[in-house]
């Protein structure tokens, strides 16, 4: 029975993953390169737990117990020394992840399972850098982690069946719904989502319709809670571009080629919510969705 989890990377996803494990009684060590992201993550987790208390989804005691279950560390080797499962949720960069996995493999206990939350990097490639490829697996949580039910569980080429079974039952213990997929570019979530987003951007680029019209068709016509252009802004246009490049390079099929408008927007630093502008503009003072001047 897994009880000790170490999460590497305390950003958007890492703090959410730590939150759900701690809330479900696991001992979590959250690791990052310095103290600042760890403090920010703890503050975010506390705020999000408090929101659950105010919605009467958790009691104040459950919130306090969850916070007590989390410790932090800036030393990776120390932070994983008792781990039974390590979940890597560091920045999406292949070289960085390979370096981290080499280090985790050397420092983690022998039977420890090594998981990655990568959105697009090959699990098989990450596993191949370790001495235990059969113990390496993808656990692709969705953002925001405490809210979203799905975990895409990705089997690398060498992942052992017992490891997959352990991770599937762990997801259920967290109240999540796992879906098992094999390791090919984009897995399932992004293989289907990103071409849809790219097609929406192509429709705008070719002046088939405006930003609001494209999003309205998909929201009201297909019952999507968010239109594809708004969703792209939320995910980050740089992230969308990088995943499309993974699909394009991985399959060698021109149908995945990123739309030139997406490439231009990323080059110009228009990355969506995180930069304040993408297909829409974002400001702390205005919560309304306003189409960017460029597309009016
Ligand atoms: P983020 O930029 O918010 O956080 C990344 C964190 O990793 C930062 O705090 C950074 O300091 C830390 N980090 C970098 N190098 C490190 C190292 N060597 N050791 C320890 N920590 C290190 O990124 P994110 O959005 O949380 O994404 C993390 C992973 O989750 C990525 O692989 C991404 O593709 C994946 N993912 C993201 C989303 C999303 O919507 N943001 C959804 C699903 C999966």
Residues whose CB falls within 8 Å of the CB of residue 257, separated by 6 or more in sequence, listed in order: 244, 248
DSSP state for residue 277 in the 8-state scheme: B
Q: At residue 214, what are phi and psi to the nearest 5 degrees?
A: -60, -45
Task: For residue 81, report the distance from its CA to the centre of ligand 1, in Å.
Answer: 21
Domain range annotation of the chain:
4-182, 190-295
DSSP 3-state of 144: coil
Question: What mean pLDDT, rounded, does the chain reach?
Answer: 97
Mean pLDDT computed over 205-224: 98
- pLDDT at position 140 is 98
Task: For residue 8, report the distance from its CA to the centre of ligand 1, in Å.
Answer: 8
Residues whose CB falls within 8 Å of the CB of residue 190, separated by 6 or more in sequence, listed in order: 119, 120, 243, 247
- pLDDT at position 1 is 87
pTM across the whole model = 0.93
Is the pLDDT at 223 greater than 80, yes or no?
yes
Catalytic hit among 15, 69, 117, 119: 119
Percent of the chain with pLDDT over 90: 96
Query: What is the number of the ligand 1 atom nearest to the C-alpha of 119?
Result: 34
- pLDDT at position 77 is 98
Active site residue 84: no
Is the pLDDT at 286 greater than 80, yes or no?
no
Query: What is the number of the ligand 1 atom nearest to the C-alpha of 120?
Result: 34
* Among the listed residues 160, 118, 100, 157, the one whose alpha carbon sits nearest the alpha carbon of residue 135: 160
Ligand 1 binding site (Cβ under 6 Å of any ligand atom): 8-14, 31-33, 37, 76, 89-92, 96, 100, 117-119, 140, 143, 235
Query: What is the number of the ligand 1 atom nearest to the C-alpha of 31?
Result: 20
**Structural tokens at position 78:** 């120390």
Distances (CA, A) of 37 to 77, 234, 281: 18, 21, 26
Strands (E), 2-108: 4-8, 27-31, 70-73, 85-88
- pLDDT at position 287 is 80
b/e burial code for range 176-187 (CB count within 10 A of at least 16 → b): bebebbebebbb
pLDDT digits (tens, 9 = 90+) for 187-206: 999 999 999 999 999 999 99
Catalytic hit among 122, 140, 248, 292: 140
Task: For residue 97, report the distance from its CA to the centre of ligand 1, in Å.
Answer: 10
- pLDDT at position 284 is 82
Is the pLDDT at 136 greater than 90, yes or no?
yes
Q: Which CATH number fits domain 4-182: 3.50.50.60, 3.40.50.720, 3.30.2350.10, 3.20.20.70?
A: 3.40.50.720
pLDDT digits (tens, 9 = 90+) for 24-81: 999 999 999 999 999 999 999 999 999 999 999 999 999 999 999 999 999 999 999 9
Query: What is the number of the ligand 1 atom nearest to the C-alpha of 234?
Result: 40
**Structural tokens at position 149:** 């039910």
* Among the listed residues 10, 127, 35, 139, the one whose alpha carbon sits nearest the alpha carbon of residue 85: 139
If pLDDT is split at 50, 70 and 90, which confidence band does 214 have?
Answer: very high
Mean pLDDT computed over 96-104: 98
Is residue 65 classed exposed, middle or buried when 0-12, 13-18 and 19+ CB atoms within 10 A define those classes?
middle
Active site residue 119: yes
Task: For residue 13, report the distance from its CA to the centre of ligand 1, in Å.
Answer: 6
pLDDT digits (tens, 9 = 90+) for 66-96: 999 999 999 999 999 999 999 999 998 899 9
Task: For residue 91, report the distance from its CA to the centre of ligand 1, in Å.
Answer: 4
Q: Give me the torsion for CA of 231, 31, 156, 243, rounded to 10°.
A: 30
Fold of 190-295: 1.10.1040
**Structural tokens at position 115:** 């998981």
Catalytic hit among 84, 88, 92, 152: 152
- pLDDT at position 288 is 86
Is the pLDDT at 285 greater than 90, yes or no?
no
- pLDDT at position 31 is 98
Element (H, E) at 40: helix 35-54
Question: Hey, which residues does 180 pair with through a beta bridge?
Answer: 153
pLDDT digits (tens, 9 = 90+) for 170-181: 999 999 999 999
- pLDDT at position 38 is 98
Mutate to test the pocket of ligand 1, among 11, 41, 92, 236 (most ligand atoms within 8 A of CB): 11
């Amino acid at each position: 029975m897994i009880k000790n989890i170490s999460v590497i990377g305390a950003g958007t996803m890492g703090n959410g993953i730590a939150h759900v494990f701690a809330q479900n009684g696991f001992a979590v060590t959250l690791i990052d390169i310095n103290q600042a992201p760890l403090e920010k993550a703890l503050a975010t987790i506390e705020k999000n737990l408090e929101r659950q208390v105010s919605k009467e989804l958790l009691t104040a005691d459950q919130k306090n117990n969850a916070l007590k279950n989390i410790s932090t560390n800036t030393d990776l080797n120390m932070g994983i020394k008792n781990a039974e499962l390590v979940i890597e949720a560091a920045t999406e960069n292949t070289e960085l992840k390979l370096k981290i996995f080499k280090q985790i493999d050397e420092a983690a206990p022998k039977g420890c399972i090594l998981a990655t939350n990568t959105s697009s990097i090959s699990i098989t490639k990450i596993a191949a850098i370790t001495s235990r490829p059969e113990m390496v697996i993808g656990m692709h949580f969705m953002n925001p982690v405490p809210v979203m039910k799905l975990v895409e569980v990705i089997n690398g080429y060498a992942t052992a069946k017992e490891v997959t079974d352990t991770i599937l039952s762990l997801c259920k213990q967290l109240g999540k719904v796992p879906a098992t997929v094999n390791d090919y570019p984009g897995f399932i979530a992004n293989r289907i989502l990103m071409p849809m987003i790219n097609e929406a951007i192509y429709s705008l680029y070719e002046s088939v319709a405006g930003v609001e019209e494209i999003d309205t068709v998909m929201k009201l016509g297909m019952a999507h809670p968010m239109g594809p252009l708004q969703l792209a802004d939320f995910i980050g246009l740089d992230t969308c571009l990088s995943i499309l490049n993974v699909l394009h390079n991985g399959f060698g099929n021109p149908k995945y080629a990123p739309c030139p408008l997406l490439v231009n927007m990323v080059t110009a630093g228009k990355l969506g919510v995180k930069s304040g502008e993408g297909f829409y503009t974002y400001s702390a003072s205005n919560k309304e969705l306003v189409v960017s001047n460029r597309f009016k």
